[in-house]
Chains A and B, each alone.
Chain A
Amino acid sequence: MTCKKKDISLRLPDLLADSLRGEEAGKLREHLETCSCCAEEFRVLSNLAALEVPEPEAGFFDEMPGKVIRSIREEKTASRPSFRLPAIELKWKAGLAAASLAAAALLVFLLPGTGPVLVQKPDNNIPPISVAIGFETNILIEGDYKVSDVSGALELDVKLTEDDLSRTTGAFLIRGIEYLDMDVDALFMFEEELGSIPQRS
C-alpha cells in the first residue's frame, strides 16, 4: 500500500522531532490515523531515531577541543613549501577534442560532478601555457602547464598549502582558457587528486 501524499511523508521527521506547530502537527496525526502506509513509515522512523550512537570513552569530548587547537597550531607553524606535481595524466576525449582543435591547441575542461577531466591534443610541440586555478577570488594554484611527453603527461610547479586544499566551495578558473563552475563533488575529487600527488621539493 502506498500513500500519494508525498509531502506528508517528507514532513514526518518534523513530527518526530516535535518541531511542527500545533495545527500542522494535528493534521499530520489525523492523517496517520487513517493512512496505514504513513503510520508504518512513522513507526519505522521512530525506531530509526531511537537507534543510539554508543558513548565514546570517558574524556573523549573533554579532550577534543584541545586536540583541535593543537592541530591548528601545528598547521599554522608548519612551513608551506612549494610542491611539485610530477605528472598529471591527461585523458583524451576524441569528440571534445575534435571540436576544439580549430580554436586552441590545448583545452582544459571540467565536467560537472565528475571531477576535472583534462582534454588535449596529443602533440608534444604544444608550448607551455599559464594557468591559474581559483576558488571564488582566491587564486590557489598558478603556474605554467608544460606538456612533457607524447603520452599526455604534463608537469607544473605550484605553491599549494593544506589551507588551500580545505576550501569547500567555489569556482574553477583557468585563466585564458575557460571559466567553469565547479560543484562540490568535483572540487573534492580535484582536491583528492592533488592531495595524493604532491611531494615536497
Chain B
Amino acid sequence: MDWEKEREFTKRAREGDEEAFGELVRAHQKKLYNFIYRLCENHDDAAEVTQRAFVKAYFSLRNFRGDSLFRTWLFRIALNTFRNHVRDEGRRKHQTLDGWDPPARERTFSMMVEKEERKKLAEAVETLPERQREAVVLRVHEGHSFNEVAGIMGCSVGAAKASYHQGVKKLKETIGGEEQ
C-alpha cells in the first residue's frame, strides 16, 4: 500500500469506516504477525496479540497524528500489547541468560534444523533479554532505523542502539565468533 492510500484509509478509519481499517489490516498484518512471532515463537500468542493490537490501534486512531509512519505507530502498539500479554498471561518464553530454564518449544524457526549454526543462533535469540531481543528483531528482521526502533520501544535512540549492540554481541559470543 502506498503512502497516499494509507493516509486516505487512515483518515477514513479515524472517521469510523471499519472497511477502510480492514484494508490497513490487510496491508500490515503479515509484518505485524511475523514481528510478534519472532518475539514469542508461538503461533497462538502471535495471532492473539496481532488481533488485539489492531483492535487497540483502531480505537486509538484519533491519537495518531501522522508525525510518524503508520507502520511504526502500529508496531509500537503491537509491542506494548505483546509486553502486556507477557505480563498478564505469564507466557513469557524468553528470559535473561541467567537462571533460564528453557521451556519445551512447540515449534521454532523453520530453517533451524538443517544448519547447526542457525540452530544455535535461533536458540541464542530466544535467550536474549527482552529489550535486546526487541531491538535486534526490529533492526535486523523488520529493517527499522534506530529512530524508529526507539519510537517503537519507547526509549531513547541511544538506548535502542545499546540494546541492539549488546544483543548482537551476545549472539556472536554464543555461536563462538567472538571472544568472551
Contacts and interface: CB of A to CB of B under 8 A. Distances in A.
B109 A51 contact: yes
B118 A50 contact: yes
Nearest to B139: A13
B66 interface: no
B172 A68 contact: no
Which DSSP category, helix, strand, loop or mixed, fits chain B's interface? helix
A61 B29 contact: yes
Interface string A100-125: 00000000000000000000000000
A130 B171 CA distance: 51
Interface in B113-171: 115, 117-118, 121-122, 125, 136, 139-141, 143, 146, 154, 161, 164-165, 168, 171
A65 B118 contact: no
A112 to B, nearest CB: 12
Given A1-B179, A56-B33, A192 B87 contact: yes
Contact of B54 (A9, A10, A68): A68
B63 A169 contact: yes
A25 to B, nearest CB: 15
Contacts of A49: 140-141
A21 to B, nearest CB: 15
Interface string A173-193: 000000000011100100110
A168 interface: yes
B111 A50 contact: yes
Contacts of A53: 33-34, 37-38, 109-110
Interface residues on chain B, size class: 35 or more
Contacts of A67: 51
Interface in B37-60: 37-38, 43, 47, 50-52, 54-56, 58-60
Interface of A: 1-2, 6, 9-10, 13, 16-17, 19, 37, 40-41, 43-45, 47-54, 56, 60-61, 64-69, 71-73, 75, 136, 162-163, 166-169, 183-185, 188, 191-192, 195-196
25 contacts: A2-B178, A2-B179, A10-B146, A10-B164, A17-B143, A37-B178, A41-B177, A44-B171, A44-B175, A44-B177, A51-B111, A51-B112, A51-B118, A56-B43, A60-B47, A61-B29, A64-B54, A65-B23, A68-B55, A69-B18, A69-B22, A162-B59, A184-B80, A188-B83, A192-B84
Ranked 5 nearest A-B pairs via Cβ: A184-B154, A65-B22, A166-B56, A51-B109, A65-B25
